Amino acid sequence: MERKVAIFDTTLRDGEQAAGIRLGPAEKLDLAKQLERLEVDVIEAGFPISSPDDMEAVRLICKEVRNPTICALSRAIVADIDACGKAIENAAKARIHTGLGVSDIHVTKIFAAERYGKTLEEKRQTVLNMSVEGVKRAKQYTDDVEYYAMDAGRSDEDFLMMLFDAVIKAGATVINIPDTTGYAVPEQFGALIARIAERTKNSNVVLSVHCHDDLGMAVTNTLAGVKNGAGQVEGTIIGIGERAGNCALEEVIMALRTRKDYYGVSTTVKAKELYKTSRMVADAFGMEIPMNKAVIGANAFAHSSGIHVDGFLKGRQTFEIMLPSDIGAPESSVVLTARTGRHGVRHRLRELGYSYEGEELERIYERFLKIADKKREVFDEDLIAIVHDEVSTVPAVYVLDYLQTTSGTGTIPTATVRLNIAGETVQGSHCGDGPVDATYKAIFSLTDTRAKLKKYNIRAVTSGSEAMGEVIVNLELDGRMGIGRGLSTDVIEASAKALIDGLNRLASKN
Ligand code: MN
């Protein structure tokens, strides 16, 4: 029988941890619902002891997302595990993920105090005892307990094996072998997984691999793990995560699928949801997907060299090992114009994986008409950007009512802004280094916010000077980060909208 490999997504935990952006519980729920549509097996939703927001996010996802297993992270410490227990109490299927750092470096540095033991041997024994106690405690809350041996990629193998024997005996159902520092190389890592598989073959434990991309080998190491017996892979969408990131799940999923002849395993993921999922994740974290990113990049299916195009036209298998439709990417770029009716827009949105009706569809359509009026041709990328701009769940405290700027050679850039703040109209003007700077100074002074601008990013959604500009800003308020986005054929207006969107998002998190 064909072996099944489970997909464990940790975008909301390991991914978020590194993004510099804290998502609110509602934003995390939106992504979790999309991960459910992608049909991943496990969603690691957060680290409940780390913040009240994380606790609430895990609880909310447990309540609303019922098909995948929802996993909560902890250290093998009583308070952490009890927080997980509380977070998962309403889940349909829940898992607690617990463990400790087990490499000599972790053992001697993290457990430096003498109360953990004087020698390395004694400290290792402490780590082993804490791990066993942690698994036992987690078992009081759920049967499904995953143990992680942090920094396993650099750990003493004899100790690792002893540790695994002990936690399996204590009830661990999944053993995670993380290469936390991205130090492993495929042949060596694969061989380690094979030895652990051999050692644990008489138990029902599932082996999991969790690789980081510091040397650009997270996906290769993960695949080496699968080839050698791992039954679960951990990673994130687009590979976002600590430092250089985690293993990019879309790459692993498509590699296992495209090279089934070699790996001989299957997953139950719905690959057709990958394109949309990757766009949603990029949006939520305010990041751009590189053009040449494997599987989901804008050029992943583009053929440009003469020989390739010629071959492609004679038969697409000549230079194409996957189809855009496999991951739900738009097959051909359909161009819409102002003459495209409501039904046409709705139909194209459906093909792109977005179902909107009623009032939401109407808002998107109105916006589409305005854009089509200005730039004549509306591409799929434009349509997706409009959707993400219009369908916002954030209540608007600040509304942009009027914006006028002057700039040019020999003039002092000035902006006049009128805002509606919770029903009241305020107006002001400011000078600046340029029209965007002037606009931002005016908005900051009118809103009287303590929020600070940390990052400003602008890009053209499609090519050509009439393209829409999309602005993404990172804001910080009292140590919390939030993003805002704005879209317009006028880049100054797009900039103002992005700042106001960011301020609204920060206000809604209070
Ligand atoms: Mn990690």
The CA-atom distances, in angstroms, between 347 and each of 37, 278, 279, 367 are 20, 21, 19, 16
Considering the domain boundaries, does residue 204 fall inside one?
yes
Considering the domain boundaries, does residue 455 fall inside one?
yes
Distance between CA 427 and CA 404 in Å, rounded? Answer: 11
- The Å distance, Cα 13 to ligand 1 centre, comes to 9
- Whether the pLDDT of residue 222 is over 60: the answer is yes
Considering the domain boundaries, does residue 95 fall inside one?
yes
Task: Over range 167-192, report the average pLDDT.
Answer: 96
- The Å distance, Cα 359 to ligand 1 centre, comes to 41
Residue scoring higher pLDDT (410 or 82): 82
Considering the domain boundaries, does residue 141 fall inside one?
yes
Q: What is the CATH number of the domain that holds 411?
A: 3.30.160.270
Q: What is the pLDDT of residue 183?
A: 94
374 and 447 both lie in a single domain: no
- The Å distance, Cα 9 to ligand 1 centre, comes to 11
Distance between CA 446 and CA 425 in Å, rounded? Answer: 10
- Whether the pLDDT of residue 19 is over 70: the answer is no
Q: Which of 227, 252, 284 is the last residue of a domain?
A: 284
For residue 148, give both structure tokens: 């992680």
Distance between CA 91 and CA 43 in Å, rounded? Answer: 12
- The Å distance, Cα 217 to ligand 1 centre, comes to 14
Considering the domain boundaries, does residue 290 fall inside one?
no
Q: What is the pLDDT of residue 308?
A: 57
- The Å distance, Cα 305 to ligand 1 centre, comes to 39
- Whether the pLDDT of residue 442 is over 90: the answer is yes
- The Å distance, Cα 182 to ligand 1 centre, comes to 9
366 and 429 both lie in a single domain: no
Considering the domain boundaries, does residue 291 fall inside one?
no
Of the spans 143-157, 371-385, 392-406, which averages the highest pLDDT? 143-157
Considering the domain boundaries, does residue 82 fall inside one?
yes
358 and 504 both lie in a single domain: no
310 and 373 both lie in a single domain: no
Banded pLDDT at 146 (limits 50, 70, 90): very high
- The Å distance, Cα 183 to ligand 1 centre, comes to 13
Considering the domain boundaries, does residue 129 fall inside one?
yes
Strands (E), 16-166: 42-46, 69-73, 94-101, 145-150
Q: What are phi and psi of 355, to 5 degrees?
A: -105, 115
* Paired sense of beta strands 174-179 and 145-150, if any: parallel
Q: pLDDT of 225-282, one tens digit each?
A: 999 999 999 999 999 998 899 999 999 999 999 999 999 999 999 999 999 999 889 8
Q: What are phi and psi of 344, to 5 degrees?
A: -60, -45
237 and 133 both lie in a single domain: yes
253 and 279 both lie in a single domain: yes
Q: What is the pLDDT of residue 313?
A: 62
497 and 363 both lie in a single domain: no
Averaged pLDDT of the chain:
91
Q: What is the CATH number of the domain that holds 107?
A: 3.20.20.70
Low-confidence winner among 83-97, 220-234, 338-352 (lowest mean pLDDT): 338-352
Q: Three-state secondary structure along 450-501?
A: CCEEEEEEEEECCCCCCCCEEEEEEEEECCEEEEEEEEECCHHHHHHHHHHH
Banded pLDDT at 112 (limits 50, 70, 90): very high
Task: Over range 128-151, report the average pLDDT.
Answer: 97
- What sign does the CA torsion over 441, 443, 449, 450 have? negative
- The Å distance, Cα 283 to ligand 1 centre, comes to 22
Q: What is the pLDDT of residue 92?
A: 98
84 and 141 both lie in a single domain: yes
- The Å distance, Cα 299 to ligand 1 centre, comes to 29
103 and 24 both lie in a single domain: yes
Residue scoring higher pLDDT (472 or 78): 78
- The Å distance, Cα 407 to ligand 1 centre, comes to 48
- The Å distance, Cα 82 to ligand 1 centre, comes to 22
Banded pLDDT at 143 (limits 50, 70, 90): very high
- The Å distance, Cα 19 to ligand 1 centre, comes to 13
Q: What is the pLDDT of residue 306?
A: 54
Whether the CB-CB separation of 348 and 334 falls below 8 Å is answered with yes
Task: Over range 288-311, report the average pLDDT.
Answer: 74
347 and 451 both lie in a single domain: no
pTM, rounded to two decimals = 0.83
End-to-end Cα separation, the chain, in angstroms: 52
- Whether the pLDDT of residue 154 is over 80: the answer is yes
Domain count within the chain: 4
Q: Which residues face 146 on adjacent strands?
A: 97, 174
- Whether the pLDDT of residue 83 is over 60: the answer is yes
Q: Which residues face 487 on adjacent strands?
A: 470
Crossing angle between the packed helical segments 274-284 and 249-258, to the nearest 10 degrees: 170
360 and 494 both lie in a single domain: no
Nearest alpha carbon to residue 350 among 292, 276, 411, 300:
276
- The Å distance, Cα 257 to ligand 1 centre, comes to 24
For residue 85, give both structure tokens: 């227990």
- The Å distance, Cα 503 to ligand 1 centre, comes to 31
Q: Which of 359, 390, 421 is the last residue of a domain?
A: 390
Q: What is the CA radius of gyration of the chain?
A: 25
36 and 113 both lie in a single domain: yes
Q: Which domain holds residue 480?
A: 398-508
- The Å distance, Cα 212 to ligand 1 centre, comes to 7
- The Å distance, Cα 14 to ligand 1 centre, comes to 6
Whether the CB-CB separation of 210 and 176 falls below 8 Å is answered with yes
